[in-house]
Amino acid sequence: MAEKREGTGRVREQDRDDDSSGVRANPWTSHLRALRLHVESAMEPRVRALAGGLLAESGARVLARFDRLAAADHGAVLDAAIDRLERLSGPHSEARVAHAVLCAAIPVERVRWASGIGAPPAEIARDLAVAGRKAAALGGRERSVFYAVCALDDTAGDDEVGKVVLRAAVAYQMRWNTAHQNVSRAWRKICEGTALGAWCGDWRAGHRLVCGAPPLALWEAGRAYMDACSGRHGHGGEAFEAWVRAHEAHNAWFSEWKKQTARASRRWRDLADVLDASGVPPAAVHAVLVQSCAALGIDRWVIPARLAHQSWRALLGAANRPPPPARGAWLAFLRGHGFPAGAEAAFRAFERDAALADVASVELEHAYASLLVAAERQSSAGTHARDAFRQLIDAGDEA
């Protein structure tokens, strides 16, 4: 299929959906289209006319991110957004309209969320207040990455939600996993001492309840950065083409790494089943396991008091796959303690797939490094959008 790449005027042959590249946005999903039609059909004339119809368009786009809201809530949210917009001077831009809908939707979402918990309102209010203070107390890179991810999540459309952590990592030139770790650690700190973790689950379900909506200036900067990453609104040219190629290469290796890792993990579980069928339970090699568990790469999971009652599946099922240096120790262990030949064959099958997963992991690291380099070589407009977004995030550390 041929398509014109946004902002470039070029036509290329496309044999897969753009969503697989993680760069450009797809047309809205059927859910979003249905919601948009519902919102537009329910609009009063003043709503449809406001800002040249932007409220209908942006309202549907933003409300699609609020799964807790029922259809009956949409009208109340849009009415509140209209009241907010009518108090503002100046033109009603798309950014202003979308931000107004976001600000109006969050209080309604909080009410719906609280009503579904079943806890006393005072307890919910107290825990939210505690979590808000903990969020405000975050500092350093952890705070910057957490608030960057939250701001990008607030501006993201349905097709962009899965990209916000990656794009925050690129903005801060850090490893993707490091960005995930910063967000997870920050959310654990925010939830500590409260029931928020149980009530909300992960950060994506709860950050708006704790942090509220970002200021309009930050929302606009986050949206501009997301547009630069997606090639929208004139962000194009050779630098963007290089970014697209690096992004697609990273996604390809990420998919390969996931596939090979899943295969290796299945082989690891298969090995545990073969060991359980061998007639040599962990209890039979208790002393050897305790002495050599570090060399086997499973020392974190070997608890001597449990070995007498554990199966291999129970022991190895929780353990990470052994790294390359430990695999020789595993072969020696299997050969030296009465395991049948099938156990070594099962380990060899695991070793082959684990080696492929290792290669994919290395290539994924290289692809991500290339992605960061491509991000640094973006057009001046793209780097300006990124830097402006970062400056607003980092300014919070000085407040």
- What confidence score (pLDDT) does residue 236 get? 60
Q: Which of 9-13, 63-67, 355-359 has the highest mean pLDDT?
A: 355-359
Burial of 22 (0-12, 13-18, 19+ CB in 10 A): buried
- What confidence score (pLDDT) does residue 380 get? 81
Confidence of residue 14 (pLDDT cuts 50, 70, 90): very low
Q: What average pLDDT does the chain have?
A: 82
- What confidence score (pLDDT) does residue 29 get? 40
Interval 211-219 mean pLDDT: 92
Confidence of residue 67 (pLDDT cuts 50, 70, 90): confident
- What confidence score (pLDDT) does residue 53 get? 62
Tokens of 387: 């830097």
Q: Which of 70-79, 174-183, 390-399 has the highest mean pLDDT?
A: 174-183
Question: Tens digit of pLDDT for each residue in 124-157?
Answer: 999 999 999 999 999 999 999 999 999 999 998 8
Lowest mean pLDDT among 66-70, 299-303, 312-316, 355-359: 66-70
What does DSSP assign to residue 192? T
Burial of 140 (0-12, 13-18, 19+ CB in 10 A): exposed
Q: Is pLDDT at 21 greater than 80 in this prediction?
A: no
Confidence of residue 383 (pLDDT cuts 50, 70, 90): confident
Name the residue among 262, 308, 314, 257 with its Cα closest to residue 284. Answer: 308
Question: Tens digit of pLDDT for each residue in 261-289?
Answer: 999 999 999 999 999 999 999 999 999 99
Burial of 120 (0-12, 13-18, 19+ CB in 10 A): exposed
Cα–Cα distance for residue pair 376/382, rounded to 1 Å = 9
First and final CA of the chain: distance in angstroms? Answer: 51
Confidence of residue 31 (pLDDT cuts 50, 70, 90): very low
Please give the residue that has the higher pLDDT: either 203 or 399.
203
- What confidence score (pLDDT) does residue 20 get? 39
Sign of CA dihedral 189, 191, 192, 198: negative
Strands 2-4 and 11-13: antiparallel
Q: Is pLDDT at 311 greater than 90 in this prediction?
A: yes
Cα–Cα distance for residue pair 223/281, rounded to 1 Å = 57
Place of tokens 């009241």: 83
